[in-house]
């Protein structure tokens, strides 16, 4: 084959092909059998097309898994992880055979589903179906964006493909439908998907629940669709070559495959989906393949040598590209400097100077509005920042004014239109972030975070610094009613490990929140922003908003400096807390107000700081947040109380709802009086459950 163009040639050695493919299959059986757990069927069925793709087309460098212009390969069918591990091992990545033998064991590089950062060459964590496909679409968007930003005539330094193998299960999940529709819309001709159409899912034949015409569906999405026999190497090769030649439309190659191909008893059977074949069946299958039934983890030298050519080939590929990059540096030195910054994934020095400063003179403005001003102010300083919303840009105020939209007309556009597709937005953001060099954000109403939890969780697991902009963050949304009013969403997000949730109280905290989110490199951040207007707090009288970085801070000290009680609040309810503080101080009660925009950041502070903000001796504490009371006990303690909402909201103007549901300074002040005098008030639950 011609490595430069990726065009397929007829195989000179069909016997070698067969040996190589059966090596993958036998290794897959052994890997799963050794673990006594896993999915042998998918790797056996997809081995042939995996082989063709990885040996004839994939432009990668096993010696440098981070080569920026490598093709990306995403195994969306993550349950077939053994296939990926085997291909990585065989083509020479730093994934020793020992790791295949430790498949699915504690601390191995070969967990049950591929995990980003755990083995070289694993481009994303997959397993939850549909997510990997969405990541691949996001990577294809990122590639288009990066190419548009850096390529210049005669100097293409970004010109690779995104490949993915997806399964029946991936295509039953709605998230993949959303992503596929957008990929077609965006003309992502750099994306090639091999569909492992084996007609078997866990319950049995896919005919039980899945009889749609997938190819025709993708044609409706405006994809380029081909059908091939998955074990016909030359047909697969021709289809991939044709897909490469199609640059305007993403390509779907529907490959008719056979789960557990070669297994006398389990081929085309659901029994091969999620369990080892059994030692006897493994032996029988090896015999069929002409392998010794008693040898395990056998690597025929000819097969290994053939696969390992990828190392030398990859070195050549990257060297050739380095030459192109060198020519680029000469022709476009300024862009090349940006490229270096881009590949290091760093923010430009001093970008924070672009952050706007807000004062009370700005008048009352919603934190979503402040966020919009921040975004627009910093966008010119941050060329890697791009994003958009799930059809709510005007409401979430996330549009970058004056910058182009991303799309076939201009792939350098930094405004993304995800459509009403929150779930795939999350998966695409992960793909964009995984691609490298970019800082994506995605926006919707906080309530619709429920539509996109699976990819957010994966972002947290993969430690991707994706930014979520969630506006309309409480009953303050008003008339749209309970279907649109978050109650439990804040807590549900706080519960996700490694996701930082920030609910700023005013415009100044909002600017700080954006700074923290952008400086974060090891995980995602969710901003919860108000629909309703909020005054800009007077920082000359109150503590500076830099306290947000520590999660919680003393915003307003009690009169006299010795608090009898503490009100802890977040976001819009900080203003309630300050008003309640004033009422209480008029009544002679000295109250401290703590703004606590982030539980996660506060929990990460040294105990001494935590105790300084919430002195252990001050037991009279009331939290105020227009959300579920659940989880606040750890801050208000046994003697405390929470002003929250443990039921669904209602449709009415926001001010009415705040009154009706007890979010008034008077009610907050009353609860403080209650906890100060538990015998007279409605009192806290002695079991430790604060009353709402």
State yes or no: residue 201 binds a copy of itself (CB under 8 A).
yes
Of 44, 158, 182, 518, the one binding a copy of itself by CB under 8 A: 182
Q: Is 482 in the site for a copy of itself (CB under 8 A)?
A: yes
CB atoms under 10 Å from CB of 208, counted, come to 10
Candidates 521, 647, 666, 682: give the one binding a copy of itself (CB under 8 A). Answer: 647
Task: For residue 78, state whether it binds a copy of itself (rule: CB under 8 A).
Answer: yes
Part in contact with a copy of itself (CB under 8 A); list of ranges 350-358, 472-480, 510-518, 673-681: 472-480
CB closer to a copy of itself out of 91 and 201:
201
281 is known as an active-site residue: no
**Residue among 384 and 628 whose Cβ is closer to a copy of itself:** 628
**484 and 341 in contact (C-beta within 8 Å)?**
no
By beta-carbon proximity to a copy of itself, the closer residue of 44 and 642 is: 642
Partnered with residue 298 across adjacent β-strands are none
User: Which among 490, 500, 507 has a CA at the least distance from the CA of 371?
Assistant: 507
**Site string (602-641) toward a copy of itself, x via CB under 8 A:** -x---x--xx--x-x-----------x-xx-xxxxxx-x-
Residue 327 binding a copy of itself, by CB under 8 A: no
Residues in binding contact with a copy of itself, number by CB under 8 A: 123
Work out which of 521, 660, 677, 682 binds a copy of itself, going by CB under 8 A. 660
Is 311 one of the binding residues for a copy of itself (CB under 8 A)? no
| Separation between Cα atoms, residue 425 and residue 451, nearest integer Å | 10
CA dihedral for 79, 83, 84, 85, sign (positive or negative)? positive
* Shortest Cβ 291–a copy of itself spacing (Å): 25
d(CA 296, CA 292): 8
Least distance from C-beta 260 to a copy of itself, angstroms? 16
**Of residues 389-408, those binding a copy of itself (CB under 8 A):** 389, 391-395, 405
For residue 212, state whether it binds a copy of itself (rule: CB under 8 A): yes
Smallest separation, CB 175 to a copy of itself (Å): 5
DSSP annotation of 521 reads -
Residue 458: alpha-carbon gap to chain centroid = 5
Cβ closer to a copy of itself: 97 or 492? Answer: 492
Could you tell me the strand order of the sheet in which 565-569 lies? 553-556, 591-595, 565-569, 621-624, 641-643
Contacting residue, 40, 68, 127, 524, with a copy of itself by CB under 8 A: 127
User: Which CB, 494 or 671, lies closer to a copy of itself?
Assistant: 494
Nearer to a copy of itself, 203 or 538 (CB): 203
Between residue 442 and residue 461, which ones bind a copy of itself under the rule CB under 8 A? 447-448, 450-451, 453-454, 457-458, 460-461
Min CB(295)–a copy of itself separation in Å: 24
Given the rule CB under 8 A, which of 240-248, 279-287, 417-425, 576-584 is the region that contacts a copy of itself?
417-425
Burial pattern 297-325, b for ≥16 Cβ within 10 A else e, equals eebbeebeebbeebeebbeebbeebeebb
Q: Which of 143, 177, 532, 581 binds a copy of itself (CB under 8 A)?
A: 177
Q: DSSP letter string over 527-594?
A: EE--SSEEPPP-TTTS--GGGGGGS-EEEEPPGGG--SEEEEE-TTHHHHHHHHHHHHHHTT--EEEE
96 binds a copy of itself (CB under 8 A): no
**In the beta sheet, which residues pair with residue 569?**
595, 624
Q: Of all helices (H) and strands (E), which one includes residue 32?
A: helix 14-35
- Cα 626 to Cα 478: distance, rounded to the nearest angstrom: 12
Q: How far is the CB of 315 from a copy of itself (least distance, A)?
A: 32
Find the binder of a copy of itself among 11, 105, 227, 673 (CB under 8 A): 105
Q: Is 178 in the site for a copy of itself (CB under 8 A)?
A: yes
Query: Smaller CB distance to a copy of itself: residue 437 or 640?
Result: 640
Q: Which residues make beta-bridge pairs with 388?
A: 416, 442
Binding residues among 9-68 for a copy of itself as defined by CB under 8 A: 35, 37-38
For 210, the token pair is 């899945």
Q: Which is nearer to a copy of itself, 303 or 529 (CB)?
A: 529
DSSP string, 36-57: T-S--HHHHHHHHHHHHIIIII
Which residue in the set 70, 89, 306, 421 belongs to the binding site for a copy of itself (CB under 8 A)?
A: 421
Is residue 484 part of the contact set for a copy of itself (CB under 8 A)? yes
Q: Report the site for a copy of itself in 252-291 (rule: CB under 8 A).
A: 274
Give me the least distance between CB of 179 and a copy of itself, in Å please: 9
Residues 222-251 that bind a copy of itself (CB under 8 A): 222
What is the x/- site pattern for a copy of itself, positions 134-173, by CB under 8 A? ----------------------------------xx--xx
Taking CA atoms, 532 is separated from 476, 479, 573, 665, in Å, by 6, 12, 11, 17
Task: Give the x-and-dash track for 536-555 against a copy of itself (CB under 8 A).
Answer: --------------------
Of the residues 316, 331, 420, 586, which one makes contact with a copy of itself according to CB under 8 A: 420
**Which CB atom, from 436 or from 482, has the smaller least distance to a copy of itself?**
482
* Distance separating alpha carbons of residues 602 and 656, to the nearest angstrom: 32
Q: Which residues contact 655 (CB under 8 A, 6 or more apart)?
A: none
Q: Which of 397, 422, 512, 573 is catalytic?
A: 422
Cα 418 to Cα 420: distance, rounded to the nearest angstrom: 7
Least CB distance to a copy of itself at residue 283 (A): 23
Comparing CB distances to a copy of itself, the nearer of 58 and 272 is: 272
DSSP letter for each residue of 297-358 = S---HHHHHHHHHHHHHHHHHHHHHHHHHHHHHHH-HHHHHHHHHHHHTPPPTTGGGGS---
The b-or-e profile of 20-43 (16+ CB within 10 A means b, else e) is bbbbbbbbbbbbbbbbeebbbbbb
User: Which two three-digit tokens encode residue 461?
Assistant: 């697991």
CB 561 within 8 A of CB 592: no
Closest distance of CB 287 from a copy of itself, Å:
28
Could you say which of 250, 478, 563, 571 contacts a copy of itself (CB under 8 A)? 478
3-state SS record for 134-175:
HHHHHHHHHHHHHHHHHCECCECCCCCCEEEEEEHHHHHCHH
Applying CB under 8 A, among 242, 492, 543, 582 the residue interacting with a copy of itself is 492
Smallest separation, CB 491 to a copy of itself (Å):
5
Nearest approach, Cβ of 236 to a copy of itself (angstroms)? 23
Which residue, chain included where needed, has tokens 């495959």? Answer: 257
Choose the binding region for a copy of itself from 88-96, 203-211, 279-287, 355-363 (rule: CB under 8 A): 203-211
Would you name the residues annotated as active-site residues?
422
């Amino acid at each position: 084959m011609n490595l430069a163009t990726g065009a397929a040639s007829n195989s000179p050695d069909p016997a070698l092909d067969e040996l190589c493919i059966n090596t993958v299959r036998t290794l897959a059986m052994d890997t799963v059998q050794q673990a006594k757990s896993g999915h042998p069927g998918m790797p056996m069925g997809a081995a042939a097309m995996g082989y063709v793709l990885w040996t004839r087309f994939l432009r990668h460098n096993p010696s440098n898994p981070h080569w920026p212009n490598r093709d990306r390969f995403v195994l969306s069918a993550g349950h077939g992880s053994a296939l990926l591990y085997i291909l990585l091992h065989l083509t020479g990545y730093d994934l020793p055979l020992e790791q295949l033998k430790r498949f699915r064991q504690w601390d191995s590089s070969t967990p049950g589903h591929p995990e980003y950062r755990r083995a070289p060459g694993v481009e994303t964590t997959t397993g939850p179906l549909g997510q990997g496909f969405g990541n691949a679409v996001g990577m294809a968007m990122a590639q288009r964006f990066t190419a548009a930003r850096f390529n210049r005539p005669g100097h293409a330094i970004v010109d690779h493909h995104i490949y993915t193998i997806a399964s029946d299960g991936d295509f039953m999940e709605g998230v993949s439908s959303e992503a596929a529709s957008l990929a077609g819309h965006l003309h992502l001709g750099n994306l090639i998907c091999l569909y492992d159409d084996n007609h078997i899912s866990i319950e049995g034949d896919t005919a039980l629940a899945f009889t749609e015409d997938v190819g025709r569906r993708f044609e409706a999405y405006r994809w380029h669709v081909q059908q091939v026999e998955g074990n016909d190497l030359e047909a697969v090769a021709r289809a991939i070559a044709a897909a490469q030649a199609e640059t305007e439309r993403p390509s779907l190659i529907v490959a008719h495959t056979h789960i557990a191909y070669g297994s006398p008893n389990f081929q085309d059977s659901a029994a091969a989906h999620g369990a080892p074949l059994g030692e006897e069946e493994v032996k029988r299958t090896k015999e069929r393949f002409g392998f010794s039934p008693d040898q395990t983890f056998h690597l025929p030298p000819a097969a290994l040598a053939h696969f390992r050519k990828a190392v030398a080939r990859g070195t050549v590929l990257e060297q050739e590209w380095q030459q192109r990059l060198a020519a680029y540096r000469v022709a476009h030195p300024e862009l090349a400097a940006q490229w270096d910054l881009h590949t290091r994934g760093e923010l430009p020095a001093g970008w924070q100077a672009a952050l706007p400063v807000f004062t009370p003179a700005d008048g009352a403005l919603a934190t979503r509005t402040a966020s919009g001003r921040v975004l627009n102010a910093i966008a010119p300083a941050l060329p890697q920042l791009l994003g958009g919303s799930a059809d709510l840009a005007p409401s979430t105020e996330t549009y970058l004014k004056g910058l182009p939209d991303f799309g076939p007309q201009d792939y350098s556009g930094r405004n993304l239109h995800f459509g009403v597709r929150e779930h795939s937005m999350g998966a695409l953001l992960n793909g964009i972030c995984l691609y490298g060099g970019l800082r994506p954000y995605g926006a919707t109403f906080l309530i619709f975070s429920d539509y996109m939890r699976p990819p957010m969780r994966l972002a947290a697991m993969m430690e991707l610094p994706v930014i979520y902009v969630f506006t309309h963050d409480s009953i303050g949304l008003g008339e749209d009613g309970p279907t649109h009013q978050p109650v439990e969403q804040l807590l549900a997000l706080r519960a996700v490990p490694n996701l930082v949730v920030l609910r700023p109280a005013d415009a100044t905290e909002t600017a700080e929140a954006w700074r923290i989110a952008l400086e974060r490199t090891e995980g995602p951040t969710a901003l919860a922003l108000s629909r309703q207007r909020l005054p800009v707090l007077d920082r000359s009288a109150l503590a500076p908003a830099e306290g947000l970085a520590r999660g919680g801070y003393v915003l307003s000290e009690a009169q006299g400096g010795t608090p009898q009680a503490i009100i802890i609040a977040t976001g819009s309810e900080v203003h309630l807390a300050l008003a309640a503080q004033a009422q209480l101080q008029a009544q002679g009660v000295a109250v401290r107000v703590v703004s606590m925009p982030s539980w996660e950041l506060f929990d990460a502070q040294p105990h001494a700081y935590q105790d300084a903000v919430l002195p252990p001796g001050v037991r009279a504490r009331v939290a105020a947040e227009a959300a579920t009371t659940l989880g606040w006990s750890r801050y208000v303690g046994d003697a405390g109380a929470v002003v929250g909402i443990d039921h669904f909201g209602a449709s009415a103007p926001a001010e009415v709802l705040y009154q009706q549901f007890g979010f008034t300074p008077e009610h907050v002040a009353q609860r403080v009086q209650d906890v100060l005098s538990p015998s007279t008030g409605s009192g806290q639950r002695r079991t430790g459950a604060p009353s709402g």
